[in-house]
């Protein structure tokens, strides 16, 4: 027993010094075998579409294929910048996602702090379970619920308005309400779930800091502000960078499902516009739609790199 | 027992200053308000689903079910398209998640081994796709060239990996599987394949449970993929059917007679509420069982270092 144990301790030392590289390659080719299938998938389903992005600079004809179609330079981009819809879809996209970010981002942090400071374990648990429940509702069902609740004929909100003696309102048909409905239902759905990550970050805050603050006479509120909050700042920054990187890609699904002819003025976003031009229209213009999509992706890329740069410089927290 | 509990309570009361007591009350009050705001719509939906058709259509339901009945649920399961959608979704979810887990673990394990040559480059190849992608149109053309349009495979293969989940899984492997364990196994002649299957996977049950939940929920709730790529009604997943009924409101279209329409109106509304409950319940019920793994897995997997 003793001897064999010694051997296992001795052996890696010898290999690490002597034939380390050869031995490493001898075993590590297996890692490439394991990675092969995911890597092929990555190249086919992620990098080939990236290569295909060049149709944004071509005049795509399905008979000629991507590579055979003629180059047109920036024509598709200038067409978009000069189009009647450009300003509308860009403004709509930015407004709704900044609104969503400004309100939707702080809520989970607040909920996590409240839960963390709740001294009744059973109440805390019940609140946590109920608040994350809505996360499991699909976008389709969520929009279904919104339509159902706001319906002028059978919706609970209008039943309530009628009881108060007001006239029913078809909320989904008013362009001005679209953003508020979109953002506040997102908050209703996501706050509990998104609080989970902050809660686990709060659990990792050093209890010694709390004790020290208590000895110095800090009130509970002061400890939240000066101990808990600084403790989760790195988590907040990482999640903020990731959110900012998605500013231009606000959910296609929810906006598209909430759209109707009457609210289109505020509900048409870049992503829904790409779909309509590229796939839904009878005279589908793949190149034009791809150009709009690329414009969107590039802005996202610049935003995420920019915010990450600022965060790295100012707080030493970085995404990569 | 009783004594210690009492004394603990008493001690707390003495320790808390006035400001802290106010803090506790305000804290719990805010929690209670948030709790009720989230809870009420859920209760309302549940109560409506269990009420009688007429009560739902005329706004009689406020908190609890009115004239409780199961007619809504009967209607859901009599609806052929819904049942087909359910079966399709179950298939997509089970097959899709199985593929997801195998592929994710196969990507995450090599990327977690520090000894692997070229690891940084490969890792960059994966993470880069998280911040930049070709977009809808090039992907559509690719899937069309591959002959995936209107096949069941399009619901599974193009969605085989979520890079975000690979990163979570890799971080978990890196921080929970010590290098010494691999070295010791390799000296005993264990290959990477066997190490992955017999050591890493059994040691990573909590992160795999988390990944199963993430992926399965994604498939269950997925609407976009089928909306873009599937045209054949027999292959429609549940979410597409739900859109027809809940968003496009197409149940009523069949009935032209106004009197019959009024009678059916209540039934249509009831069907919607029951459908919302039936389609959302599986994950809401299943989650508490994986919640324990979840918190553990998320903590180790996503928090750096």
Phi, psi of A59 (to 5 degrees): -105, 90
Residues A87 and A172 in one domain: yes
The answer to the question of residue A287 being in a domain is: yes
User: Are A76 and A57 in contact, with CB atoms under 8 Å apart?
Assistant: yes
**pLDDT at B297 (0 to 100):** 65
Mean pLDDT of chain B: 82
Test A27 with B302 for CB contact under 8 angstroms: no
**pLDDT at B11 (0 to 100):** 46
Residues A161 and A263 in one domain: yes
Test A144 with B111 for CB contact under 8 angstroms: no
CA B287 to chain centre: 9
Rounded Cα distance, B97 and B152, in Å: 14
pLDDT(B296) > 70: no
Residues A61 and A106 in one domain: no
Nearest to A301 among B111, B122, B131 (CB): B131
Distance from CA of B305 to the nearest CA of A (A): 12
Among A70, A87, A111, the domain-final residue is A70
DSSP B101-137: HHHHHHHHHHHH-TTSTTHHHHHHHHHHHHH----HH
Test A154 with B113 for CB contact under 8 angstroms: no
The answer to the question of residue A4 being in a domain is: no
Nearest to A27 among B186, B272, B287 (CB): B186
Q: Which of A14, A25, A45 best probes binding to B when mutated, by most B CB atoms within 10 angstroms? A: A45
The answer to the question of residue A284 being in a domain is: yes
Residues A102 and A230 in one domain: yes
The answer to the question of residue A26 being in a domain is: yes
Distance from CA of A118 to the nearest CA of B (A): 6
Q: A55 is in which domain, residue-wise?
A: 14-70
**pLDDT at A9 (0 to 100):** 43
A5-9, A139-143, A217-221, B292-296: least confident range: A5-9
Query: Which residues have C-beta within 8 Å of that of residue B188, sequence separation ≥ 6?
Result: A8
Test B20 with A220 for CB contact under 8 angstroms: yes
Cβ of residue A219 closer than 8 Å to a chain B Cβ: yes
Residues from chain A contacting residue B273 (CB–CB below 8 Å): 148
Please calculate the CA angle B175-B178-B183 and round it to the nearest 5 degrees. Answer: 150
pLDDT(B44) > 60: yes
Distance from CA of B277 to the nearest CA of A (A): 9
Rounded Cα distance, B60 and B151, in Å: 45
Task: Give tens-digit pLDDT for B208-267.
Answer: 888 898 899 999 998 889 988 999 989 999 999 888 888 887 654 455 555 666 667 777
**C-alpha dihedral (B114, B119, B120, B126), degrees to nearest 10:** -120
Test B187 with A49 for CB contact under 8 angstroms: no
**pLDDT at B299 (0 to 100):** 62
Task: Give tens-digit pLDDT for B132-160.
Answer: 888 888 898 899 989 999 999 999 999 99
Q: Give whole-number Cα distances, A192 to A85, A130, B29, B289, B303, in Å.
A: 36, 8, 17, 18, 19
Residues A125 and A256 in one domain: yes
Nearest to A140 among B223, B284, B299 (CB): B223
Compare B263 and B176 and report the one with higher pLDDT.
B176
Residues A207 and A244 in one domain: yes
Q: What is the CATH number of the domain that holds A91?
A: 1.10.3720.10
Residues A26 and A169 in one domain: no
Furthest CA-CA distance within chain B: 81
Distance from CA of A264 to the nearest CA of B (A): 16
What does the pLDDT average to over B8-37?
77
Residues from chain B contacting residue A191 (CB–CB below 8 Å): 34, 38
Q: E-strand spans in chain A?
A: 58-59, 70-71
A18-22, A274-278, A285-289: least confident range: A18-22
Rounded Cα distance, B105 and B111, in Å: 10
Nearest to A118 among B27, B166, B193 (CB): B27
What does the pLDDT average to over B170-186?
85
Confidence tier at A17 by pLDDT (50, 70, 90) = very low
Rounded Cα distance, B144 and A65, in Å: 12
Nearest to B136 among A130, A275, A305 (CB): A275
Q: Which of B134, B142, B192 best probes binding to A when mutated, by most A CB atoms within 10 angstroms? A: B134
Cβ of residue A310 closer than 8 Å to a chain B Cβ: no
Q: Which of A5, A123, A136 best probes binding to B when mutated, by most B CB atoms within 10 angstroms? A: A136
Phi, psi of B113 (to 5 degrees): -90, 115
Test A148 with B273 for CB contact under 8 angstroms: yes
Q: Give whole-number Cα distances, A53 to A45, A256, A277, in Å.
A: 13, 23, 16
Test B133 with A301 for CB contact under 8 angstroms: no
Closest CA to B246 of A253, A143, A14: A143
Please calculate the CA angle A34-A35-A39 and round it to the nearest 5 degrees. Answer: 145
Cβ of residue A154 closer than 8 Å to a chain B Cβ: yes
What does the pLDDT average to over A130-143?
90
Confidence tier at B6 by pLDDT (50, 70, 90) = very low
Compare B27 and B117 and report the one with higher pLDDT.
B27
Compare A319 and A178 and report the one with higher pLDDT.
A178
The count of structural domains within chain A is 2
Compare B290 and B5 and report the one with higher pLDDT.
B290
- The domain locations on chain B are 2-49, 72-302
Q: Which residue of A has its CA nearest to B21?
A: A220
pLDDT(A81) > 80: yes
Confidence tier at B3 by pLDDT (50, 70, 90) = very low
The answer to the question of residue A212 being in a domain is: yes
Test B107 with A35 for CB contact under 8 angstroms: yes
User: Are A76 and A88 in contact, with CB atoms under 8 Å apart?
Assistant: no
Confidence tier at A319 by pLDDT (50, 70, 90) = low
Distance from CA of A186 to the nearest CA of B (A): 12
Residues A310 and A202 in one domain: yes
Compare B71 and A112 and report the one with higher pLDDT.
A112
Residues A38 and A136 in one domain: no
The answer to the question of residue A221 being in a domain is: yes
- SS3 track for B32-77: HHHHHHHHHHHHHHHHHHCCCHHHHHCCCCCCCCCCCCCHHHHHHH
Residues A157 and A103 in one domain: yes
Nearest to B276 among A132, A144, A188 (CB): A144
pLDDT(A240) > 80: yes
**pLDDT at B160 (0 to 100):** 93
**pLDDT at B66 (0 to 100):** 80
Distance from CA of A177 to the nearest CA of B (A): 18
Residues from chain A contacting residue B288 (CB–CB below 8 Å): 129
Distance from CA of B166 to the nearest CA of A (A): 10
Q: Which residue of A has its CA nearest to B192?
A: A30
Cβ of residue A38 closer than 8 Å to a chain B Cβ: yes
A92-101, A119-128, A269-278, B24-33: least confident range: A269-278
Q: Quick one: what percent of chain A has pLDDT higher than 70?
A: 88
The answer to the question of residue A9 being in a domain is: no
Task: Give tens-digit pLDDT for B99-128.
Answer: 999 999 999 999 988 878 888 899 889 988
Residues A50 and A96 in one domain: no
Residues A20 and A124 in one domain: no
The answer to the question of residue A6 being in a domain is: no
pLDDT(A255) > 70: yes
DSSP A157-219: HHHHHHHTTPPP--GGG-GGGHHHHHHHHHHHHHHHHHHHHHHHHHHTS-HHHHHHHHHTT--
Q: Which residue of B has its CA nearest to A107?
A: B34
Mean pLDDT of chain A: 82
Determine the CATH number of domain B72-302.
Answer: 1.10.3720.10
**pLDDT at B9 (0 to 100):** 46
pLDDT(B34) > 50: yes
Among A51, A70, A89, the domain-final residue is A70
């Amino acid at each position: 027993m003793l001897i064999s144990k010694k051997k296992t301790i001795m052996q890696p030392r010898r290999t690490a010094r002597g034939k380390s590289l050869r031995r490493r390659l001898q075993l590590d080719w297996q890692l490439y075998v394991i990675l092969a299938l995911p890597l092929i998938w990555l190249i086919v389903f992620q990098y080939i579409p990236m290569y295909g992005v060049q149709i944004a600079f071509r005049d795509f004809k399905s008979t000629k294929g991507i590579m055979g179609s003629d180059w047109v330079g920036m024509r598709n981009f200038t067409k978009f910048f000069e189009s009647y819809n450009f300003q509308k879809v860009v403004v709509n996209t930015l407004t709704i996602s900044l609104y969503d970010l400004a309100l939707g981002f702080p809520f989970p942090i607040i909920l996590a702090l409240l839960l963390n400071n709740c001294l009744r374990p059973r109440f805390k648990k019940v609140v946590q379970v109920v608040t994350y429940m809505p996360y499991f509702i699909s976008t389709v069902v969520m929009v279904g619920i919104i339509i159902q609740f706001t319906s002028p004929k059978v919706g609970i909100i209008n039943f309530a308005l009628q009881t108060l003696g007001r006239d029913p309102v078809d909320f989904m048909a008013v362009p001005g309400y679209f953003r508020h409905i979109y953002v506040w239902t997102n908050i209703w759905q996501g706050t509990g779930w998104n609080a989970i990550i902050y809660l686990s970050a709060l659990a990792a805050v050093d209890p010694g800091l709390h004790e020290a603050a208590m000895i110095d006479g800090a009130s509970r509120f002061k400890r939240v502000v000066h101990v808990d909050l600084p403790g989760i700042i790195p988590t907040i920054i990482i999640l903020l960078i990731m959110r900012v990187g998605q500013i231009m890609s606000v959910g296609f699904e929810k906006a598209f499902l909430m759209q109707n002819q009457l609210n289109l003025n505020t509900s048409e976003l870049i992503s829904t516009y790409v779909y309509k031009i590229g796939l839904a229209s009878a005279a589908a213009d793949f190149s034009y739609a791809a150009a709009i999509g690329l414009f969107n992706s590039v802005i996202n890329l610049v935003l995420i790199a920019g915010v990450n740069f600022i965060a790295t410089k100012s707080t030493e927290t970085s995404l990569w | 027992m009783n004594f210690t509990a009492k004394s603990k309570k008493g001690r707390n009361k003495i320790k808390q200053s006035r400001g802290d007591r106010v803090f506790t009350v305000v804290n719990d009050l805010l929690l209670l308000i948030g709790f009720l705001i989230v809870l009420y719509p859920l209760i309302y939906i549940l109560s409506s689903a269990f009420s009688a058709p007429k009560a739902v259509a005329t706004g009689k339901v406020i908190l609890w079910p009115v004239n409780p009945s199961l007619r809504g649920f009967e209607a859901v399961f009599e609806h052929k398209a819904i049942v087909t959608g359910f079966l399709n979704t179950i298939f997509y979810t089970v097959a899709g998640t199985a593929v997801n887990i195998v592929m994710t673990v196969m990507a995450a394990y090599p990327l977690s081994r520090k000894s692997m040559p070229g690891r940084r480059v490969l890792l960059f190849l994966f993470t880069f796709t998280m911040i930049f992608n070709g977009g809808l149109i090039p992907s559509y053309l690719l899937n069309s060239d591959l002959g995936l349009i209107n096949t069941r495979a399009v619901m599974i293969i193009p969605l085989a990996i979520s890079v975000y989940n690979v990163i979570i899984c890799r971080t978990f492997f890196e921080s929970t599987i010590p290098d010494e364990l691999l070295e010791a196994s390799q000296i005993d002649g264990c290959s990477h394949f066997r190490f992955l299957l017999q050591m890493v996977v059994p040691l990573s049950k909590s992160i795999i449970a988390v990944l199963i939940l993430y992926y399965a929920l994604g498939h269950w709730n997925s609407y976009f993929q089928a909306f873009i790529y599937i045209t054949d009604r027999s292959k429609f997943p549940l979410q597409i059917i739900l859109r027809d009924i809940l968003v496009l409101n197409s149940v009523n279209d069949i009935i032209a007679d106004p009197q019959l329409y009024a009678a059916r109106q209540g039934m249509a509304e009831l069907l919607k509420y029951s459908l919302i409950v039936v389609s959302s319940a599986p994950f809401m019920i299943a989650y508490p069982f994986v919640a324990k793994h979840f918190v553990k897995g998320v903590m180790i997997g996503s928090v750096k270092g």
